[in-house]
Structure 1
Amino acid sequence: MTIAQQHSIDHKQSIGEWINWLADYGKTEDGGVTRLLYSESWKQAQLSLQQVMIQNGFAVRFDEVGNLFARYAGTAEPGSIILTGSHIDTVQNGGKFDGAYGVLASLIAAHQLYVQHGPPKKTIEVVSLAEEEGSRFPFTFWGSKWITGQSTLAEARELVDSDGISLQQAMVDAGFGEPIPQAEVKESIDAFIELHIEQGILLEKKQKDVGIVSDIVGQRRYTVQFTGESNHAGTTPMSMRKDALRLAAEFITYITDQSEQLDPSLVATIGRLSVSPNMPNVIAGGVECSLDVRHADSELLDQFEDIVDQFMQTAKQKKMEMQLDCWLKIEPVHLSDRHVEIAYKQAEALGLSYEKMVSGAGHDAQVFGATCPTTLLFVPSKNGISHSPEEWTDTAALEKGVELLKSQLYALAYE
């Protein structure tokens, strides 16, 4: 009998088997997963998780936007919630571990604690967040921002996907979007814990069992436009050109050099480049590129933005135009020192080697970390590959993460 048939969280079934089960929802031909927000594969994955939760004794509910919750109510402080989980949406043709591991590991950890120790003192609630990646709509952390009150349904009307479907319409089509009466009992999220694959190579290279994150970097994302003048490639002298591509190339070299000089931990990336008219015998009149900048210090991010602004003088000297549009600004988050210290002690008690880390990738923990004490735990990623069908973490490493998560939940909800 398969996991899907019996819906039972059993000690004999590994976390790897559960991940393979969930990966069937949105599975691609080359072994990846495409499970975009409110798509049919996303909806079926959430509904299947709902059945697993129900059949394992959790009290289960959806909220307005499709976040799925499963709880074991606390006996002493039921209104105090220790929330744990991650997201189930993916990038296009992504991996099967990203997000899904954190949801399934949380279910397993919470259930095993309940079986071994009975109901917790504080409520343990597992969440399968509706969305984190921003792969379908130009918006990230929809699920966690909704829970923390940082986003509203009004925003959903303004956001559309590549087919012109609004976030609100997609949400309604998936069966969500209607207001749900608030519970009469006042509740608060006392803590949030997220377990995730590293999506980097540090833990594997250092041969560490787990990573314990102290800070999550802030992110600034920009669209940069360079405007010159298209002209004939053969008849326009080099000294008379207004070559937007040349200006863009100088900018790429400039921001790369400046980031290395400013701070070794700062990263600046040009990931997308669009050239107009993009013809072999025409000087480029327009270039648009992306710029992604990350660091754990917001003041340093501000300083780097000033450095980027200074390059506009180069454009003016060359009688060309440059525009810089910041469309995403996420502040760095320092995670709870107390909860990080608890994680250190739990890792040592379990005999796990660990690395204190700064996360260079954004996670839902970043959103929760601004509103409540938060822990972010990592397990190694093979070759650091993520957002790809090649994404992989060995089952033994996954299980170590589950054990650390169990210990953290026990310390916060049972003791």
Structure 2
Amino acid sequence: MSGPKTADIRKAADEMMKLLEELAAFSTPGEGVTRLLYTPEWSEAQQFLLRRIEDSGLEAYADRVGNVYGRLAGTQSGGGVVLTGSHIDTVVSGGRYDGAYGVAASLTALQYLKAAYGPPLRMLEAVSFAEEEGSRFPLTFWGSGNVTGLYEEGSGADDCRDGEGTTLREAMDRCGLESRRDSSLRSDVAAYVELHIEQGIMLERTGKQIGVVEAIAGQRRFAVTVKGTANHAGTTPMGLRSDALAAAAEMALLLETWAVRAGDPLVATVGRLEVVPNTPNVIPGEVSFTLDIRHSREAELERFCEDVLEAFGGVAKRRGVSVSVERRLSAVPAPMAPELQKELVSICESQGRTWRSMVSGAGHDAQLFAPRCRTAMIFVPSRAGISHSPDEYTSPEELAAGLEVLIALLYKLGYEETDEAIDAPNNMKERWA
């Protein structure tokens, strides 16, 4: 690839920014962008994308759960598909870049490549996944999870309900998806590339333009319950108390101390705290809190969790309270393909861009593809590290830089005659077995 012409890439970047602005309009009224799975706003946004894809000359289609695709057919028969994209849904009162940037960039990249170089050797597809955030229903990665086989066909759709009691299947039916019988599951994806805002502060703080993701961190979530004895705050001596809140507070501080000592990339958080009876003049008798612990290496993540929970037991015994722990989530780390990381570094250097290797502490659709095919993630900076907020912002120049890196990698994967970064079909099938 001789490199995109400056004027052409600027035009493509302008088109991407326009598409981002148009997508942001599909939102419920209120601050920020709210576009939840299978709501009218979500449905209208996906229909808008289908029309936009058709107008661009790409082949447009949607699958049974509402994932929207734009296809640029290749000239070689057989082999695998190079897939790129992100998700269309948002959190409540979220920003306009999380997910949507990757969708807008992927469609723009395919349009640019088609206009500049014609048909690729290998099929390229852009995707707008139906859901990733888990903001409406008690599940995540519904879009990419149906593509990769995380969810069995239709499994749980009648039992999974939102806060108003609507089942997932009912919500799908209201969007007109009940008549679709084509499967979302795919076994033809040989590579997946996702461009995303960092949702953190490291790129901005270190002055780097591009983040080359090494891995998406594994995650453990626990629900912890500490039980003591509720008693009168004025008549119970300090030495005779079984204070559940004091014990829980010591556990939270222990978690923070050990996490700081462990160092990056481990992070650990007590996120939600509930106190019973939660009144001013009663010693707390029961406290429930959540743990969120993440690390890019599975063995270290599991060992840290085991050690911390054992230490919690020691705190409970010393303070005369009981502690019980329920594991709520166990997600393994997802390493990105080393060969694609190497390609991204080469692209950044050839384009004169500053870059850094980094771990993603947040979850992404890419983590579902990583065990199944060659996968890469590209980050661009987030101002002040803010995301999932109306204040989420990345400058047009930074967004354009990510687009240009994405275009170069897709050219490498789709247009070059010899490319070891793409699995042969037999190897690809083994990965999806």
TM-score, scaled relative to structure 2:
0.89
Deviation of residue 182 (structure 1)? 5.6
1: distance between equivalents of 2:12 and 2:301?
46
Confirm whether residue 21 of structure 1 aligns to residue 19 of structure 2: no
Structure 1: state its 5+ residue gaps.
1-8
Tell me what 2:34 maps to.
34
**Deviations for 1:86-140, whole angstroms, at most 9, x for unmatched residues?**
0011111011000000000000000010011111111111110011111112211
**Deviations for 1:355-410, whole angstroms, at most 9, x for unmatched residues?**
11111111111111111100100111111111100000000110111111000000
1: distance between equivalents of 2:231 and 2:254?
26
Tell me what 1:235 maps to.
235
Question: Bigger shift: 362-371 or 158-167?
Answer: 158-167
Contact 1:201 1:384 in 2 (8 A): yes
Tell me what 2:325 maps to.
324
Contact 1:86 1:129 in 2 (8 A): yes
1: distance between equivalents of 2:294 and 2:12?
40
**Deviations for 1:7-58, whole angstroms, at most 9, x for unmatched residues?**
xx9648342222111101115433x111111111111111111110111112
Tell me what 2:223 maps to.
223
SS at match of 1:272: strand
Contact 1:101 1:196 in 2 (8 A): yes
For residue 190 of structure 1, what is the amino acid of its counterpart? A
Contact 1:15 1:395 in 2 (8 A): no
- Residue identity over aligned pairs, in percent, reads 43
Deviation of residue 295 (structure 1)? 0.3
Contact 1:224 1:323 in 2 (8 A): yes
Tell me what 2:196 maps to.
196
Tell me what 1:384 maps to.
385
SS at match of 1:93: coil
Contact 1:98 1:386 in 2 (8 A): yes
RMSD: 1.9
How many pairs align?
Answer: 404
Confirm whether residue 276 of structure 1 aligns to residue 276 of structure 2: yes
Tell me what 2:314 maps to.
313
SS at match of 2:51: helix
SS at match of 2:283: coil
Tell me what 1:212 maps to.
212
For residue 23 of structure 2, what is the amino acid of its counterpart? L
Tell me what 2:125 maps to.
125
Deviation of residue 164 (structure 1)? 2.1
Query: Measured at CA, do residues 278 and 182 of structure 1 come closer, stay the same or move farther in structure 2, by a change above 3 Å?
Result: closer
Query: Measured at CA, do residues 302 and 250 of structure 1 come closer, stay the same or move farther in structure 2, by a change above 3 Å?
Result: same
Contact 2:63 2:183 in 1 (8 A): no
For residue 406 of structure 1, what is the amino acid of its counterpart? I
1: distance between equivalents of 2:109 and 2:297?
34
Tell me what 1:180 maps to.
181
Question: Bigger shift: 384-393 or 258-267?
Answer: 258-267
Query: Measured at CA, do residues 187 and 251 of structure 1 come closer, stay the same or move farther in structure 2, by a change above 3 Å?
Result: closer
Deviation of residue 270 (structure 1)? 0.8
Query: Measured at CA, do residues 79 and 43 of structure 1 come closer, stay the same or move farther in structure 2, by a change above 3 Å?
Result: farther
For residue 137 of structure 2, what is the amino acid of its counterpart? F
Contact 1:195 1:378 in 2 (8 A): yes
TM-score, scaled relative to structure 1:
0.93
SS at match of 1:131: coil
